[in-house]
């Protein structure tokens, strides 16, 4: 039998095919901008209040920049900043729930065009708004860019990040590719509140995280490893679940602060977010170490807990572990761009899916309307309604619950989007 050998043409194509396959892999995992010099970041919005906001950016070198801002961009106010690379300008004396224009000058050149920000409602005001949540987004892959694009189209009022903001080591050099390139448009318009993930701590214990983000400070140690803030009638509490950085054991500084923080709040809604999930059908549940704070969250009337770490989506049924506590819904939003993991169904699971996604929560005085969104189609693949704690329902016998809704069918908001990836 005569054996047919591949011709010269076929052999010549082999290196080309290998090159094309390698290029496709690199593009899928490393955006082309990864190879451009990251001399500037931002601007990006931080720590919005009803009367204040921080505008931050990174310069090419130690420069004296400034922010032009005001309700009318034709008659702006100018706020100068000292000579440094990382800038954080605090604007004060703003009006609640108002829209302002701003533009950043990096010591000689403008960083983009005029943009807008909106201040928060007055604390305790029953204002309706939408916030987004995502986690584990920091690999700079095409999937992270798709999630960022979907979030920008959703136009939330603020953004909660459940950790692993950047990969692999939480160093300053990771933030360009991992955060400020894919999410640059969103972060210039929407204030982001992140919690520290295990990759964000890295070998330096989170040094770059603390330097880059201008977050609220706590009254325990004056730092921002854990913090809280109010947005309308919602009290958000951010915890640090990395035990080597900040313990949550009884008697620890963070645990003492958490008890004070939640007990002082009179907000209708209390939402807590941290990286490692106490409950999960994946292999990445915190279990004993983090379930120690669950009775405290129930006792203090927390309605919703947001986590990351498990690279998937999972929503629990309302969980109550103590007789006197209020049920709490736990949502894992870890599909921000990092490689996905399998998720099944555990005894506490109401819904789970192995998918890239982000979460939108529409806040009203009556309920939290939660949706898990596919960033490519813009459609919800899970919906639930969370009711407030019994003590806030004017005598209603209802406890907090998550009532599932069928995802509504609506046209995709995408006109053009990123190329489809596997």
Q: Could you tell me if residue 242 is inside a domain?
A: yes
Q: Could you tell me if residue 422 is inside a domain?
A: no
Helix, strand or coil for residue 372? strand
Which candidate, 102, 75, 106, 107, places its Cα nearest to that of 91? Answer: 102
Which candidate, 175, 221, 233, 253, places its Cα nearest to that of 366? Answer: 233
199: Cβ contacts below 8 Å, ≥ 6 apart: 138, 164, 166, 167, 168, 169, 170
We report the CATH number of the domain holding residue 67 as 2.60.40.10
Same domain, 366 and 346: yes
d(CA 115, CA 231): 21
259: Cβ contacts below 8 Å, ≥ 6 apart: 296, 300
Same domain, 151 and 295: yes
We report the CATH number of the domain holding residue 149 as 3.60.21.10
Task: Note down the domain range covering 174.
Answer: 129-405
Q: What is the pTM of this model?
A: 0.85
Q: Could you tell me if residue 4 is inside a domain?
A: no
Same domain, 114 and 134: no
Same domain, 191 and 66: no
Q: Which residues of the chain have pLDDT under 50?
A: 22-37, 394-398, 408-422
List, for residues 333-374, the tens digit of each pLDDT value.
999 999 999 999 999 999 999 999 999 999 999 999 999 999
Same domain, 308 and 354: yes
d(CA 164, CA 417): 25
**Is residue 49 a contact partner of residue 97, using CB atoms and an 8 Å limit?**
no
* Total domain count, the chain: 2
Same domain, 114 and 255: no
Same domain, 185 and 292: yes
Q: Write down the pLDDT at residue 85.
A: 86
d(CA 216, CA 48): 9
Q: Could you tell me if residue 341 is inside a domain?
A: yes
Same domain, 65 and 139: no
Q: Could you tell me if residue 16 is inside a domain?
A: no
List, for residues 254-298, the tens digit of each pLDDT value.
999 999 999 999 999 999 999 999 999 988 776 667 899 999 999
Same domain, 235 and 270: yes
């Amino acid at each position: 039998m005569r054996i047919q050998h591949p011709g010269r043409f076929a052999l010549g194509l082999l290196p080309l095919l290998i090159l094309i396959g390698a290029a496709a892999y690199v593009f899928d995992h490393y955006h082309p901008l990864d190879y451009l010099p990251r001399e500037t970041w931002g601007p990006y919005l931080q720590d919005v209040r009803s009367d204040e906001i921080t505008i931050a950016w990174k310069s090419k070198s130690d420069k004296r920049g400034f922010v032009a801002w005001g309700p009318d961009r034709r008659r702006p106010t100018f706020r100068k900043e000292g000579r440094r690379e990382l800038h954080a300008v605090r604007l004060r004396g703003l009006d609640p729930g108002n829209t302002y224009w701003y533009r950043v000058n990096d010591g000689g050149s403008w960083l983009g065009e005029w943009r807008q920000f909106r201040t928060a409602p007055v604390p305790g005001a029953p204002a309706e708004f939408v916030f987004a949540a995502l986690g584990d987004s920091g690999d700079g892959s095409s999937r992270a860019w798709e999630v960022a694009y979907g979030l920008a189209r959703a136009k939330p009022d603020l953004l909660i990040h459940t950790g692993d903001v950047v990969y692999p080591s939480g160093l300053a050099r990771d933030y360009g590719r991992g955060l400020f390139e894919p999410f640059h448009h969103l972060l210039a318009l929407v204030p982001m509140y992140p919690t520290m993930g295990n990759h964000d701590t890295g070998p330096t214990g989170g040094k770059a995280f603390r330097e880059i983000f201008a977050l609220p400070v706590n009254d325990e140690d004056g730092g921002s490893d854990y913090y809280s803030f109010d947005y309308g009638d919602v009290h958000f509490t951010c915890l640090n679940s990395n035990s080597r950085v900040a313990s949550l054991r009884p008697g620890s500084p963070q645990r003492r602060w958490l008890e004070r923080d939640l007990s002082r709040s009179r907000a209708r809604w209390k939402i807590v977010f941290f990286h490692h999930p106490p409950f999960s059908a994946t292999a990445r549940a915190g279990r004993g170490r983090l379930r120690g704070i669950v009775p405290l969250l129930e006792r203090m009337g927390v309605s919703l807990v947001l986590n990351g770490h498990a690279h998937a989506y999972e929503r629990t049924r309302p969980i109550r572990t103590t007789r006197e506590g209020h049920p709490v819904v736990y949502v894992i939003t870890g599909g921000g761009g990092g490689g996905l993991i399998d998720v099944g169904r555990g005894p506490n699971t109401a819904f789970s899916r192995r998918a890239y996604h982000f979460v939108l929560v529409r806040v009203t005085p009556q309920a939290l309307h939660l949706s898990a969104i596919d960033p490519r189609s813009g459609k919800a693949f899970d919906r639930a309604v969370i009711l407030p704690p019994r003590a806030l329902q004017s005598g209603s016998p209802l406890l907090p619950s998550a009532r599932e809704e069928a995802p509504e069918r609506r046209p995709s908001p995408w006109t053009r989007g990123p190329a489809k990836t596997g």
